[in-house]
């Protein structure tokens, strides 16, 4: 009796599966596109992505192929499948660089990386990629709404990368690796000069140069703080550190 019940369930599931299989070979490209759009609007993102994919498989020369790429990318993005989304957006930029939706595709690539940014205690590869891609959008499409949306996000990404360098530098200091820490602080000053971490990085270099006995270098960093951040607490601390020696 138990076997008959299990068999009945399997037959039922098989029938349901068969019933839900879509025969794309019998549909025109416009029909597949309409189906995919309906699936996307209904929130069936993976089904929509699969339907968009079928347009190229069945009609590789259809004018809807390029459109299906970025819509497929969007469907994957909504599901958090960022690598798949990026792949589709990049196809549009590679094969149709002058497509009207090229700025949108470039923007979505940047956003796909941005959404994967991790806390500063973890690897910042996605932050680096996000910064590169966001900067590309701002440079290539400066007068678009996409560029405007990304500008504050670029500031956030730069601050995250600077914060990561500061985090590593302080960790190195606890291990008495002052040269390694100095290099990290100098990276913040050199590469992330517009971030909020520069004043502290300058002060930390003052501390390290004092430890190393490099009094002139410590004074140079203090002067930089005085010129650029005269009201900063870090300048006051640096000035005290140099005057106390």
Q: What are 177-202's pLDDT values in tens digits?
A: 999 999 999 999 999 999 999 999 99
The model's pLDDT over 33-47, given as tens digits with 9 standing for 90+, comes to 999 999 999 999 999
Residue 1 pLDDT > 70: no
- For the cut 70, the answer to whether the pLDDT of residue 10 exceeds it is no
> Which band of pLDDT confidence, cut at 50, 70 and 90, is reported for residue 121?
very high
CA dihedral of 87, 136, 196, 118, whole degrees rounded to 10: 0
Task: Say whether pLDDT at 2 is over 80.
Answer: no
Distance CA 76, CA 115 (A): 13
Average pLDDT value for residue range 48-72 = 97
pLDDT at 245: 55
Q: Say what percent of the chain tops pLDDT 90.
A: 88
Q: What is the mean pLDDT of residues 113-135?
A: 97
| Euclidean distance between CA atoms 32 and 17, whole angstroms | 19
* Percent of residues, the chain, with pLDDT higher than 70: 91
- Does residue 3 have a pLDDT over 80? no
Count of beta carbons in the 10 Å neighbourhood of residue 27: 18
Per-residue pLDDT at 151 exceeds 80: yes
User: Which residues are CB-contacts of 88 (< 8 A; sequence separation ≥ 6)?
Assistant: 69, 70, 72, 73, 76
- CA 164 – CA 133 distance, rounded (Å): 19
65, pLDDT greater than 90? yes
pLDDT for 27 beyond 60: yes
Q: Average per-residue pLDDT in the chain?
A: 92
Global pTM value: 0.87
Identify the pLDDT of residue 26: 84
Show the tokens assigned to 165. Answer: 């360098």
Instruction: Please name the residues in contact with 158: beta carbons below 8 A apart, sequence gap of 6 or more.
Output: 131, 192, 194, 195
In this predicted structure, the answer to whether residue 9 has a pLDDT above a threshold of 50 is no
């Amino acid at each position: 009796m138990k076997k008959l019940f299990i068999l009945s369930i399997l037959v039922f599931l098989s029938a349901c599966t068969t019933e839900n299989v879509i025969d794309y070979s019998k549909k025109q490209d416009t029909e597949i596109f309409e189906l995919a759009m309906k699936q996307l609007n209904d929130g069936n993102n993976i089904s929509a992505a699969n339907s968009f994919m079928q347009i190229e498989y069945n009609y590789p020369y259809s004018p809807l192929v390029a459109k299906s790429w970025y819509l497929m990318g969007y469907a994957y993005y909504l599901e958090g499948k960022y690598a798949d989304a990026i792949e589709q957006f990049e196809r549009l930029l590679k094969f149709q660089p002058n497509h009207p939706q090229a700025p949108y595709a470039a923007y979505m690539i940047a956003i796909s990386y941005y959404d994967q940014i991790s806390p500063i205690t973890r690897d910042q590869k996605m932050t680096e990629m996000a910064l590169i891609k966001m900067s590309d959008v701002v440079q290539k499409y400066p007068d678009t709404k996409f560029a405007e949306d990304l500008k504050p996000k670029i500031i956030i990404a730069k601050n995250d990368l600077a914060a990561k360098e500061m985090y590593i530098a302080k960790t190195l200091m606890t291990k008495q690796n002052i040269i390694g820490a100095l290099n990290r602080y100098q990276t913040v000053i050199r590469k992330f000069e517009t971030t909020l971490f520069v004043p502290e990085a300058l002060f930390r270099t003052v501390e390290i140069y004092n430890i190393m006995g490099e009094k002139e270098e410590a004074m140079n960093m203090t002067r930089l703080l005085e010129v650029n951040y005269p009201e900063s607490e870090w300048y006051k601390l640096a000035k005290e550190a140099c005057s106390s020696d």
